[in-house]
């Protein structure tokens, strides 16, 4: 930082401070370069030199740390979010992740905070949005999804110099209601009830892969026969089935008037499957003997369906298909799960709750953590956190632990009773 004097030149990158003809102190602070390569300087003015020097130092620090606002018209939150979700996030995240971001941006964030300038957005603006969402009926989990999306999008804005702070990282999301995220895995008795009902249904092995091995929905529906080795009793998980996405195929001249997914000439615009994104997700999973038998029977039944359907059969190589072949829709699969719970007279739950059940059973069987992590497909770095989230300790196990603690400290119940009687006699 130098004070400008007549007949002197500043070194490149130095800020110039001078007293203007208006009686105020001025500064020109080099901040880098514009998109076209021209130098970019910020002009500051303050009534006193002391105030100006302090402001110049602050701005130079932001510049050196890479957190200063970049040249050009400041972004609004709406403009940045729409740019981020389509041009930055969409090319690098999975389709399902993008869908979650897109809904949070379009439905909640843009209408709620979109008019603010991104460099003037405050944590309080986001906290007020979360309160409004809950007052209008949104669950705390929905507000959390909007919060996570905003934190990711604004973090990218800070990294690129469009904002100096991430307001979402400072904001407090609403407190989750007690029990809102708590999951109670199905008991062994409930799993057995489901098994009895599963055996009556088509694609019965599909549900046992979830309950016994904890396979995710996308993993199970994306499974192909080339991934299954019945002779050696294991299967390989390498890809996930994606939720279909459609566009209208009816044309503007004769619109059908329905949603794209129900258009008679709908066009599939999303690939069917994608490879698992993590090394832990690409894994081999052992098959229990009963599941080997179920999958062998399923292969025979599918061959019979293929023969009966003839030319109507859609060849796809998927393990689990529709009655006429072709991949199962995740939405249809979800409704089949709900009907299964109802028919088995088992309490309602998410399909993902079966994954919690499988993890808990593996723990109760004494399976080593490392093996549980492989079967469940958890990354080594976050495996401990995932075990804490997914593995549930049943009440009867807690009671057994309490009994053992009591015996170790106070002695066995019978011994303690005898000692007490002897004390009374004395």
Q: Is the pLDDT of residue 179 over 50?
A: no
The domain defined by 188-238+276-386 folds into hpI Integrase; Chain A (1.10.443)
Provide the Cα torsion 309, 314, 318, 320; round to 10°: -50
Q: How far apart are CA 43 and CA 66, in angstroms?
A: 18
Number of neighbouring beta carbons within 10 Å of residue 227: 19
Architecture of domain 77-170: Orthogonal Bundle (1.10)
Cβ-based burial of 354 (10 A; exposed 0-12, middle 13-18, buried ≥19): buried
* Order of all β-strands in the sheet with 234-237: 228-229, 234-237, 283-286
The tokens of 420 are what? 């007490």
Over residues 53-65, the mean pLDDT reads: 85
Identify the bridge partners of residue 43 per DSSP, sorted by sequence position: 28
State the alpha helices, DSSP H only, in 66-166.
Answer: 77-83, 95-103, 110-113, 123-135, 140-159
- Quote the mean pLDDT of the chain: 80
Where does the pLDDT of residue 130 fall: very low under 50, low under 70, confident under 90, or very high at 90 and above?
very high
161 secondary structure, DSSP code: T
Q: How far apart are CA 295 and CA 291, in angstroms?
A: 6
pTM beyond 0.95, yes or no = no
State the alpha helices, DSSP H only, in 199-236.
Answer: 204-213, 217-221
Q: How far apart are CA 412 and CA 230, in angstroms?
A: 49
- Rounded to 5 degrees, φ, ψ at 258 are -105, 170
Tokens 């044309």 found at: 251
SS (H, E, C) 319-330: CCECCCECECCH
Over residues 207-223, the mean pLDDT reads: 86
**So where are the chain's domains?**
2-65, 77-170, 188-238+276-386, 394-426
Which of residues 66 and 129 earns the better pLDDT score? 129
- Contact, 171 vs 94, CB < 8 A? no
Q: In what helix (H) or strand (E) does residue 40 lie, and over which residues does it extend?
A: strand 39-46
Q: Is the pLDDT of residue 89 over 50?
A: yes
**H helix and E strand count, the chain:** 17, 11
Q: What is the pLDDT of residue 283?
A: 81
Q: How far apart are CA 37 and CA 42, in angstroms?
A: 16
Candidate from 199-203, 274-278, 316-320 with smallest mean pLDDT: 274-278
The tokens of 381 are what? 């770095």
CB-based contacts of 417: which residues, under 8 Å, 6+ apart? none
Cβ-based burial of 220 (10 A; exposed 0-12, middle 13-18, buried ≥19): buried
2-3 and 16-19 strand pairing: parallel
Q: What is the pLDDT of residue 215?
A: 85
Identify the bridge partners of residue 41 per DSSP, sorted by sequence position: 30
Q: How far apart are CA 146 and CA 355, in angstroms?
A: 25
The predicted-structure confidence for 360-370, as pLDDT tens digits, reads as follows: 777 766 777 77
Where does the pLDDT of residue 239 fall: very low under 50, low under 70, confident under 90, or very high at 90 and above?
confident
């Amino acid at each position: 930082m130098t004070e400008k004097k007549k007949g002197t030149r500043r070194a490149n990158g130095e800020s110039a401070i001078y007293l203007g003809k208006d009686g105020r102190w001025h500064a020109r602070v080099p901040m880098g370069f514009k998109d076209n390569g021209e130098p970019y300087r910020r002009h500051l003015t303050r009534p006193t030199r002391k105030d100006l020097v302090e402001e110049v130092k602050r701005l130079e620090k932001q510049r050196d740390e890479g957190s200063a606002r970049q040249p050009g018209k400041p972004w609004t939150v709406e403009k940045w979010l729409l740019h981020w979700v389509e041009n930055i996030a969409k090319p690098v995240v999975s389709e399902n992740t993008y869908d979650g971001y897109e809904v949070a941006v379009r439905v909640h964030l843009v209408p709620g905070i979109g008019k603010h300038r991104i460099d003037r957005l405050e944590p309080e603006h986001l906290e007020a949005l979360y309160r409004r969402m809950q007052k209008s009926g949104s669950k705390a989990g929905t507000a959390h999804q909007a919060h996570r999306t905003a934190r990711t999008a604004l973090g990218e804005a800070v990294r690129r110099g469009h904002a100096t702070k991430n307001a979402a990282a400072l904001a407090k999301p609403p407190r989750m209601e007690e029990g809102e995220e708590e999951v109670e895995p199905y008991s062994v008795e409930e799993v057995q009830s489901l098994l009895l009902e599963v055996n009556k249904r088509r694609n019965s092995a599909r549900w046992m892969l979830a309950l016994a091995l904890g396979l995710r929905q996308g993993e199970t529906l994306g499974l192909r026969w080339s991934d299954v080795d019945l002779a050696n009793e294991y299967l390989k998980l390498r890809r996930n089935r994606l939720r279909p996405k459609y566009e209208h195929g009816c044309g503007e001249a004769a619109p059908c008037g329905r949603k794209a997914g129900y258009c008679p000439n709908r066009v599939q615009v999303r690939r069917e499957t994608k490879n698992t994104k993590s090394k832990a997700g690409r894994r081999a999973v052992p098959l229990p003997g009963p599941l080997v038998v179920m999958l062998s029977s399923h292969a025979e039944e599918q061959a019979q369906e293929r023969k009966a359907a003839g030319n109507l059969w859609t060849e796809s190589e998927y393990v689990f298909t529709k009655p006429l072949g072709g991949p199962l829709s995740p939405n249809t699969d979800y409704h089949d799960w709900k009907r299964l719970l109802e028919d088995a007279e088992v309490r309602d739950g998410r399909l993902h709750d079966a994954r919690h059940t499988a993890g808990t059973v593996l723990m109760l069987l004494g399976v080593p953590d490392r093996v549980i992590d492989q079967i469940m497909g958890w990354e080594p770095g976050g495996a401990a956190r995932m075990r804490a989230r997914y593995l549930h300790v049943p009440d009867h196990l807690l009671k057994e632990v309490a009994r053992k603690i009591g015996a170790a400290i106070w002695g066995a119940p019978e011994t303690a009773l005898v000692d007490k009687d002897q004390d009374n006699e004395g």
